[in-house]
Amino acid sequence: MLAYLRTIAVTAPAEAPSGNAANGERIFRVQCASCHRSNGRGGRLGPDLSRIGLARSRAVLVRRIRGAMENSLTGYEPVTVTTQNGQTVQGVKKNEDLFSVQIMDSRERIQGYLRSDVRSVADGKQSAMPVFGPDRLNESDLNDLLAYLSTLKGFDPSVNP
């Protein structure tokens, strides 16, 4: 079964990176690692990017980083829960059913709420990922970041014991 799944796996087309991957790794640590993991390090609010170099093309990554894609992956949809006393808790939705919702808040704590015990559960319309426009990430830094992301082809536990 595993062999079959590997045959249908979609791989990103190889595009020669034009940036400095070492500088891209630094940019990743400063701009991205608070939400995204890479090779066992970083945040958990956004998807793990340890295999992103195999899974996404440069064009898709640019659109996501620049904010052109509004949808969120399942398990990372933005949500705001308003409690009965009016307190709001923002995070990403991890699971939900007719009776409850579980979210990861901005401090990476998993919290569960019964729908009957809260005022509202509001789904966000746009990805929780900030937009990294040219004013926040210039073209040179974007190329460096993309060069680094293209090197991420899977977590090797022997590298980070």
Model confidence at 86: pLDDT above 90: yes
Q: How far is 29 from 116, CA to CA, in rounded Å?
A: 40
Query: Can you give the pLDDT at residue 71?
Result: 75
pLDDT in the model for residue 38: 93
Of 144, 150, 154, the residue nearest 58 (C-alpha): 150
Domains and CATH numbers, the chain: 17-70+138-150 (1.10.760.10), 77-123 (2.30.30.100)
What is the per-residue pLDDT across 103-116, written as a single tens digit (0 to 9) for each?
Answer: 999 899 999 999 99
- The answer to whether 118 and 82 have CB atoms below 8 angstroms apart is yes
CB atoms within 10 A of CB 59: 11
pLDDT at 96 over 60: yes
Which residue carries 């990103």 as its tokens? 12
